[in-house]
A and B are shown apart, each in its own frame.
Chain A
């Protein structure tokens, strides 16, 4: 248990945090962080441990969200049932997808996975009789308070980390990493590479689909552009894992916190701080800065991510020893 002492302390902190942080806005951000912990951890299992870099997370996220949404919309079944089903339906989608794309290796698999989210988005947009197309799906949220969503998101995030932890300590984890390191060598020691890549993909799909279904429950509204978004979901999943540390247990959790915080800071121009500063300084130069940062927040965010990745190629968790050294010297 000793090696998990710090994570357990953090978990205890997270359990009481929303009771202290009562501002709904900050609770909302915390829920987003936890959602990204789950998605990033699932992506990390497939890409970080099994070596199959995927741009398809949005495909599974959206399928999970739509599963929950459509059950509620058409059949009047609580979207909470969609939580479990969302993960399972995403897994069902994962099988034909894996069957088609796993003969591809490296960049070619990544390109194939890029198509997944786009195909699903097109389906959700065009199949209006089922999905309402671009209009989207609106459901009644179960709770007004954010607390229930927070705790469900926390359970999902913790569950995904525990799952990855158990996997890496088992035969499954050894097989995943062997496949990542060298597929031919893995086959030569008797590993059915296609089967184990499929298992890894199914786990990734399940976690991402669950996160999608929770998103539906929490937000109450989805449309194809939101939940099948390439940059807001698929790329974000990759960034969360890369910034935190690919192939490390806690990397995606750290990455999720950093990425959601960064995104929000840029989106709101430092939580309005920049604007307050420019007002205080009586306009001029700071007003210009504020204007551009707020308008080009996606660009500024992108540049910052590039800098982080270049200076910490193994992510914050992967390069932790280096970060500590730098701070000791300084």
Chain B
């Protein structure tokens, strides 16, 4: 059964149609890649799912429930976690406190929330930084903190927005390992990513959009061979 469905979702910003009748279905347990050139509407789709702003048209369904008009915090409460492309650490809090704030969603007492937070820091490999202020972290650790914080809300579905951008090759492999570990723990993942090495190697299925419209979907191999995808990324062949 599909854990997440988008039915003909659109978003207009003034006269600009950023997302244009996009439909997709994410199956429980898979890693679902969302790709497209810069400005094609990937992050906008994430923001529509987690209701950072409302959709102009269409429906978003999570586990059979229409969540189109729910608020961001309610959607998180139902089990949709997300990270931000432009990371949003709670800067003047320690890494541990960042994650404790998240863990309070499912655990009411300080003691439980703290134990959970420590568990997730360990799971994501951030324990050595627990007492650091979030604003002092490197970009790789900040990206990891985004994931840790999202995981501490114990999501069933995790939306990862370019968590590999800006990482060096070594960090990239660690990020891939973490994403696969999260999937093994039973969390469904939708990932927006520019780095093809990441998206092609870990996605079960890929959905490609350009100018807010779906241009291809299928397995990584199918999408990589699709002429419209190649055209969207590389442009028209010269003159002929």
Chain A contacts to B: CB under 8 angstroms: 169-171, 174-175, 177-178, 181-182, 184-193
Q: Which 6 A-B pairs have the closest CB atoms?
A: A181-B90, A185-B88, A190-B76, A190-B105, A187-B72, A189-B102
Are A184 and B84 also in contact (CB < 8 A) when A174-B101, A177-B101, A190-B153 are?
Answer: yes
Compute how far the CA of A187 lies from the CA of B84 in the bound complex, rounded to whole angstroms: 12
CB within 8 A of B88: which of A171, A174, A184?
Answer: A184
Determine if A175 and B88 form an interchain contact, defined as CB atoms under 8 angstroms apart: no
Report the minimum CB–CB distance from B128 to chain A (whole Å). 22
* CB nearest neighbor in A for B82: A188
Contact residues in B for A192 (Cβ distance below 8 Å):
71, 73
* Inter-chain contact A189/B108, CB cutoff 8 Å: no
Q: Is the CB of B100 within 8 A of A174?
A: yes
Question: In the complex, are the beta carbons of A189 and B150 less than 8 A apart?
Answer: yes
User: What are the residues of chain B within 8 A of A184 when measuring CB–CB?
Assistant: 52, 72, 84, 88
What's the minimum C-beta distance from B170 to chain A, rounded to whole angstroms?
27
Interface check B129, CB cutoff 8 A:
no
Asked if A189 and B101 sit within 8 Å, CB to CB, the answer is: yes
Q: Please pick, from B71, B77, B84, the residue contacting A185 in the complex, using a CB distance under 8 A.
A: B84
Residue with the highest number of chain B CB atoms closer than 10 Å, among A177, A178, A193:
A178
Q: Please give, as numbers and ranges, the residues of chain A lying within 8 Å of B97 by CB-CB distance.
A: 174, 177
A188:B76 contact, CB within 8 angstroms:
yes
**Would you mind naming 29 contact pairs between A and B with Cβ atoms under 8 Å apart?**
A169-B110, A171-B110, A171-B113, A174-B100, A174-B104, A174-B113, A175-B101, A177-B97, A177-B101, A178-B101, A182-B89, A182-B90, A184-B52, A184-B88, A185-B89, A186-B101, A187-B72, A187-B73, A189-B101, A189-B105, A189-B149, A189-B150, A189-B153, A190-B73, A190-B77, A190-B102, A190-B105, A191-B101, A192-B73
B203 to A: closest C-beta gap in Å? 23
Q: Could you say which residues of chain B place their CB within 8 Å of the CB of A177?
A: 90, 92-93, 97, 101
Q: How far is the CA of A286 from the CA of B70 in the complex (A)?
A: 69
**B73 contacts which chain A residues (CB < 8 A)?**
187, 190-193
Mostly helix, strand, loop or mixed at chain A's interface?
helix
A-B pairs with beta carbons under 8 A, tally: 73
Among B81, B90, B92: residue with most chain A CB under 10 A = B90
Let me know if B197 is at the binding interface, CB within 8 A.
no
- Tell whether B44 is near chain A: CB-to-CB under 8 Å: no
Q: Is the CB of A171 within 8 A of B104?
A: yes
- Chain B residue contacts of A169, Cβ below 8 A: 110
Chain B 7-19, CB within 8 Å of chain A: the 1/0 string?
0000000000000
Closest to A195 in B: B73
List residues 42-74 of chain B with CB under 8 A from any CB of chain A: 50, 52, 71-73
- A81-B84 Cα distance, complex, nearest whole Å: 51
Check if A171 sits within 8 Å of B92, measured CB to CB: no
Q: Does B91 contact A (CB under 8 A)?
A: yes
A182, B108: Cβ atoms closer than 8 Å:
no
- Given the complex, which residues of B lie within 8 Å of A187, measured CB to CB? 71-73, 76
**Contacts A181-B93, A182-B90 known; 7 new A-B pairs at CB < 8 A:** A174-B101, A175-B101, A175-B104, A177-B101, A191-B101, A191-B105, A192-B73
Q: How far is the CA of A178 from the CA of B90 in the complex (A)?
A: 6
**Judging by beta carbons under 8 Å apart, are A188 and B77 in contact?**
no
Q: Name which of B82, B101, B113, B149 has the most chain A CB atoms within 10 A of its CB.
A: B101
| Chain B residues with CB below 8 A from A170, complex form | 110
> How far apart are the CA atoms of A186 and B88 in the complex, in Å?
9
Instruction: Return A171 CB to nearest CB of chain B, in Å.
Output: 5
Question: Shortest Cβ distance from A208 into chain B, in angstroms?
Answer: 25
List A contacts of B113 (CB < 8 A): 171, 174
Tell me which residues across on chain B come within 8 A of A171, comparing CB atoms: 104, 108, 110, 113
Please measure, in the bound complex, the distance between the C-alpha atom of A261 and the C-alpha atom of B152, giving whole angstroms: 48
Closest B residue, CB atoms, query A176:
B101
**Bound state CA distance, A31 and B112, in angstroms?**
42
How close is B110's CB to chain A, nearest CB, in angstroms? 7
Most buried by B among A170, A181, A191, A193: A181
Chain A residues, CB < 8 A from B89: 181-182, 185
Q: How far is the CB of B55 from chain A (nearest CB, A)?
A: 17
- Bound-state Cα–Cα, A178 to B152, Å: 15
**Residue of B with least CB distance to A174:** B101
Chain A residues with CB under 8 A of B81 = 188
Q: Smallest Cβ distance from B144 to chain A, in angstroms?
A: 15
Q: How far is the CB of B147 from chain A (nearest CB, A)?
A: 12
| B-side contacts of A174, CB under 8 Å | 97, 100-101, 104, 113
Among A177, A185, A186, the most chain B Cβ lie within 10 Å of the Cβ of A185
